[in-house]
A = this chain, B = another copy of it.
């Protein structure tokens, strides 16, 4: 299946994204590696979930938040690929940062919300990936989750 078919079959719609109004760029390409900057859970111009897991957000909300971060990752990847996500040959790694209190021991379960979206969108072969997932004390703009990624281009 093409990525477009995967997206349609899972009813996944990628958001519109714009370059960060800051001192960095949303992605960089080096050789065959496409490196996507850390993405916050922006949806329709605002953060979908803020605060900490273990205090302000429940597990399921955290997973939904991680999924939205991953949607933004894919939207930037699509731009980097000139609009054609089929140019991605492999997902190398996801970095999934969860704003969490010290007693929230499920950042990996939150992270599955991002991992599953990438698998659904790119398919099991191109979507499987290595990852790191952990709890951090705070994220930019008090976002609940941030996701960065590295892909391989064909």
Interface set of A (CB-CB < 8 Å, partner B): 22-28, 30-33, 35-38, 52, 54, 90-95, 97, 99-108, 112, 115-116, 119, 128-142, 146, 148, 150, 152
Contacts and interface: CB of A to CB of B under 8 A. Distances in A.
Nearest to A32: B31
A23 B137 contact: no
Nearest to A54: B138
Given A30-B92, A105-B140, 18 more contacts: A22-B115, A24-B115, A24-B128, A28-B93, A28-B130, A30-B150, A31-B32, A33-B92, A35-B130, A37-B130, A102-B138, A103-B138, A105-B139, A105-B142, A133-B140, A134-B136, A135-B137, A136-B137
Contacts of A128: 24-25, 28
